[in-house]
Amino acid sequence: MYFEKDAARGVDGTFMWLMEEMGELASALRGNDKENLAEEFADVIAWLATIANVANVDLNAALVAKYGSGCPGCSRLVCECPDSEKP
């Protein structure tokens, strides 16, 4: 939708927009406005996808490669990794 503008801004400039949206999401998480919260989640996902596009990364393929078979740690669809481990 905005590829030309985003590409002209570059990864660094677009990343700054993502960080702004992350701040807005953090604020929305502390509130009780579910509509605003949903909008901020949508904005964060949109800016993340935009950065992937500008960086020439197929975000869907990356997600499938890393998480398509389940948890990267234990390979289960419902993670059974110890709480002390990431994820």
pLDDT bucket at 87, cuts 50 / 70 / 90: low
What pLDDT does residue 55 have? 95
- Tens of pLDDT, residue by residue over 40-50, are 999 999 999 99
Look-up of token digits 């993340």: 48
Q: Which amino acid is at 2?
A: Y
- Tens of pLDDT, residue by residue over 16-57, are 999 999 999 999 999 999 999 999 999 999 999 999 999 999
Distance CA 19, CA 51 (A): 12
Tell me the Cα Rg of the chain.
Answer: 16
* For range 11-19, the mean pLDDT: 94
